[in-house]
Structure 1
Amino acid sequence: MSLLSPDRYLAVLGPTRVQLARRRGSQLDNLGSAACASRDLGDWAGAVDALEQLLRACPGRRGELAVVLGEHFAHFTLVPWSDAIGTPEELSAYARLRFEEIYGSEAAGWALQLSPEAAGQPRLAVAIAEGLLERLTGLAKTAGLRLVSVQPYLMSAFNRLCRPLVGGDFLFLLAEPERSCLLVAREGRWVAVRSTAGSDSDAALAVLLERESELQELEAQSPLAVYIHAPGRADLAPPPVHGLLPQVLGQPRAAPDEAPDPLWAMAETVS
């Protein structure tokens, strides 16, 4: 390997398991996974401990570390445009207030990031626990790696799979095994983001899509094109929603006798 091409390690953190992979050129190597236990939504300590265990098992580490967070570790909200906001600091304070209205005082210890939208448009905001970011930074340093990114899978997957949709009207459903998140856009503007716990079965996803479609109809909106990404669901076959058949994005391939692994599918999608 050239010294100009360091290894890139990729960790995917889920609520019950962590996956570690390494990118060398065009090859993505599976470095294993480790079980963890998250007691509550946002409980990240067990997942970081599992990642530390996996990194210790990799001798001769060098290069970069990118971390992808499952929906269990990230919180989302929509921040509407306000003419009263004139600086980035005011925008950040406004976004934090939105999170505190939803999650209470717990949101005071979260790091925020907002999507870069044009003036006059709502922004998507994501919040991640400051303690999680600090622990990952220290873990990477101890492992001899440079932490280059920590990003929710929702954003990573959208950037990889949905770029052609930007500017149109659509509903994008990310269905991880234990949580799902809906993004709705119209005329190039974000209009809704909703997260919920639940199964990623066809029946459960159909209920989510029908419910969101009904909400859009109550607001006198026209039907939306529907897109679904369910990492690890090679057999995904969602029924039509209000007469429109959802399009499955990034569906994993698996041998007939082998069930796809959701965390590995997530690693392949973003690597």
Structure 2
Amino acid sequence: MSHSLSDRGACRYCAVLGAEGVGVGRWQGQQHQWLGSQAFACQAAHPAWAAALEALGNLLAEHKVQGGQLRVLLSARFSRFCLVPWSDAIGHPRELDAYAQACFENLYGQALDDWRIVLSPEPAGAPRIATALPEALLQGLQALGKERRLSLRSVQPYLMAAYNRCSAQLEPGNFLFVLAEPRRSVLLLAAGGNWQQVLAQGCADNDQALEALIERTGELYGEPLPRVYLHAPGRQAASSLAAVQLCSLAAEPDPLCAMWRAVA
């Protein structure tokens, strides 16, 4: 996102809402600073995003964050993904939105009336990747930003931020992009220059679990997988998987900080 000249002197914050904790980093001028993170525990009667919002509010208060700009990155735990095939019958944005919602409901088996759906921009004839985010979480982030006098500049799934940062390193046309977040993994499969599949699933933080998930993706696709690219922020050791390592960083004890630094 571009910033106007008047924005350049303002403090810019980035909050990472992970599967089990939240963290905040800050930019001011050319200085980057990780402020810290806070774990949260979910209660059965409340959605995970409510615990994450509470933890983020506590963290911002602890570091006396008041005023500036805020960007938010969301773990796959707070996002749902779906492949939306091309349809010649769609001729209006409202029809596309309704079609995407129907694709989600068919995949997840429940209505998504309380979720906001965003579609990837693709050329005519190409499938799209759709992302659904809880509307209540987005409203909660707006309210928290207002409370701390923070201008909420963007809310983005970490998958999109990581893919955009790493895309220049991917072989055009055919690839499997694997995002191994702590406790959650997402796989994006492209073939012939088009999206073929997106799969998100809880996954242990080890190569065996990730390899099983990759094999399952190959079985669903029904063809040999193309080159595999792996982005695994927060891993303490290099992966032994037969994959191209992306956005590799020095060992970072806080996985949320590693996620922030990878896309900062």
TM-score (structure 1 length as normaliser):
0.89
**TM-superposition CA deviations, 1:155-196 (whole Å, max 9, x none):** 000000123437420001111121111100012100000011
Percent of aligned positions with the same letter in both sequences?
46
1:229 maps to a residue whose letter is H
Matched, 1:62 2:64: no
SS of residue paired to 2:42: coil
Alignment-derived partner of residue 192 in structure 1: 197
Structure 2 distance, partners of 1:142, 1:21, is: 19
Partner of 2:9 in structure 1?
Answer: 5
Report 1:248-259 matches (<5 A): 248-254=245-251
Matches of 2:183 and 2:175 in 1, distance apart? 23
Matches of 1:120 and 1:213, distance apart in 2: 24
SS in 1 for 2:121: coil
Q: Aligned partner of 2:85: which letter?
A: P
Q: Give 2:259's match in structure 1, choosing from 235, 251, 266.
A: 266
Residues 40-55 of structure 1 mapped to structure 2, 5 A cutoff: 43-55=48-60
- Could you say which residue in structure 2 is the equivalent of 1:30? 34
For the 8 Å contact 2:79–2:131, the answer to whether it is kept is: yes
> How far off its partner does 1:124 sit?
0.3
Q: Which amino acid aligns with 2:105?
A: E
| Match status 1:128 vs 2:125 | no
Give runs of aligned pairs for residues 219-234 of structure 1, distance below 5 A.
221-234=223-236
Aligned residues of 2:170 and 2:229 also touching (Cα < 8 A):
no
Report how far residue 61 of structure 1 moved.
Answer: 2.3
Alignment of 1:92 onto 2:94: no
**Structure 2: tracts of 5 or more residues without a match:** 1-5
Q: Which deviates the most, 36-45 or 227-236?
A: 36-45
The CA deviation at 1:206 is 1.5
Contact persistence 1:171–1:182 (CA under 8 A): yes
Partner Cα separation in structure 1 for residue 225 and residue 80 of structure 2: 27
Answer yes or no: is 1:247 the counterpart of 2:244: yes
**TM-score under structure 2 length normalisation:** 0.91
Partner SS, residue 108 of structure 1: coil
Contact 1:205 1:238 in 2 (8 A): no
Counterpart CA distance in 2 for 1:60 and 1:137 is: 15
Aligned to 1:175: 180
Distance (Å, rounded) in 2 between the aligned partners of 1:3 and 1:191? 39
- Give the SS at the match of 2:140: helix
Cα 1:42/1:248, change in 2 over 3 Å: farther
* Deviation sequence 1:101-154 (CA, Å, 0-9, x none): 223444111001000000000000000000000010011011011000000100
The amino acid that maps onto 1:260 is: P
User: CA separation in 2, counterparts of 1:181 and 1:42?
Assistant: 21
Candidates 141, 152, 163, aligned match of 1:147: 152
Change (3 A) 1:223 1:47: closer
Shift, 1:238, TM fit:
2.6
Give the Cα separation in 1 of the matches to 2:16 and 2:164.
17
Cα contact 2:8–2:29 (8 A) shared by 1: no
Question: In structure 2, do the counterparts of structure 1 residues 197 and 4 end up closer, same or farther at CA, with 3 Å as the change threshold?
Answer: closer
CA deviation profile, 1:58-105 (whole Å, cap 9, x unmatched): 336221000100110000000000000001110001001111122344
